[in-house]
Amino acid sequence: MGYNIELSFNILKHSCVTDIQETVTTLAHEYNCNHCYTDYEFDKNLQYQRTHCLITVVFENANISSVIDFLKKIKGMNGLYIESICDDTTSDILYASQYYLTQMMDKNCAINYKLNKRKRSYSEDDTMILKEVEKKNYNML
């Protein structure tokens, strides 16, 4: 079982973009990720003006504790956001941020995601990941 985790941060609010990329990449490899790649998103939409760096981390056949520990570290980093988490084997989206739902997904897919989120039964690993993502991180306050 594998997971794809998409992270983002605003490049205008951080002076050291490459430092953040290297930190996330190093952290991902410490927790045994298989792939890690970077992309950029520039959108001048009136509602959402976005200049973000997107980092995708792929865990294939990973130990679930490594994925959860990675998510804990990521949540502790200021200005870094979890955009989505996908299950590789079933291609289901476990978690999607509000921006991802409203701007990146097709409207019908977003509606289906919200409906299936309530109805769907999750595996034990998926439940542990969702608990970690939805847990409030008071260290950032």
Q: Tell me the per-residue pLDDT of 52-108, one tens digit each, with 9 for 90 and over.
A: 899 999 998 778 899 999 999 998 888 899 999 988 888 788 888 888 888 778 888
Q: Does residue 140 lie in a domain region?
A: no
Question: Given strand 81-87, what is the order of strands in its sheet?
Answer: 35-44, 49-59, 3-10, 81-87, 93-96
How far apart CA 4 and CA 88 sit, in angstroms, is 7
Place of tokens 């409207």: 107
Is position 57 within any domain? yes
pLDDT beyond 90 at 131: no
76 part of a folded domain: yes
Q: Is 64 a domain residue? A: yes
| Backbone torsion region of residue 10, taken as left when φ is above 0, otherwise alpha when ψ lies between -120 and 50, otherwise beta | beta
Q: Is residue 31 part of a domain?
A: yes
Its domain, for residue 56, covers 3-135
Q: Please, which residues have CB within 8 angstroms of residue 127's CB and are 6 or more apart in sequence? A: none
Q: What does the pLDDT average to over 44-51?
A: 70
Instruction: Examine residue 109 and state whether it is found in any structural domain, yes or no.
Output: yes
2-47 per-position pLDDT tens digit: 899 999 998 888 778 889 999 999 999 999 999 999 998 887 765 6
Number of domains in the chain: 1
Asked whether residue 141 is domain-assigned, the answer is no
CATH assignment at residue 80: 3.30.70.330
